Amino acid sequence: MTIVDVRTGLGWDSHRLTDTQPDRPFVLGGVTIDSPLALDGHSDADVLTHAVIDALLGAAGLGDIGEHFPDTDERWKGADSIALLAHVVGLVRDGGWTVTSVDATVVLERPKLSPHKAAMAERLAATLRVESGRVNVKATTAERMDAVGRGEGAVAQAVATIVRPA
């Protein structure tokens, strides 16, 4: 009988939406989406990838995204969040862990994400080094309630499961 250690982590992130930075791309899950809006933040503000990073760090007991990539450090200004995720995957693997699955939800009024969910899941899966079917990306709205519902920002939540031999 093979015994494995299984851990699950939860990640959550939020960023404001902006229309005042026309040169800033709108990036979610490592996919650039055509939109007059962009997410505002120190890095590329990829709220989905940030939630996945936090979920992995939490599962592995490695702190949080702010400890690894603080927004006070100019090295991370404009950083590609997929590159940050790749680094975190390396840390998780260095601890003997294997990512088994990620499930994530983005809450955003616009732009509509349905046409982009599969591409986001594929990009995340490739970076996580898992089969595409092990990453699920969902999208919903806040039904015009609260700041996200008014179109002021986006929120993402992610759950990551990792395993290693016990």
**Residue 22 confidence (pLDDT):** 78
pLDDT per residue as tens digits for the range 3-49:
889 999 999 999 999 987 778 999 999 999 999 999 999 999 999 99
- For residue 12, the enclosing domain spans 4-165
- The CATH number that applies at residue 129 is 3.30.1330.50
Whether pTM > 0.85 for this model: the answer is yes
Contact 109, 147 (CB under 8 A): no
| Assigned token pair, 30 | 């490592």
The order of strands in the sheet holding 4-18 is 38-40, 4-18, 153-165, 98-107, 135-140
Contact 133, 41 (CB under 8 A): no
| Assigned token pair, 148 | 């996200």
Q: Per the structure, how many domains does the chain have?
A: 1
Whether cis (ω within 30° of 0) applies to the bond prior to 70 is no
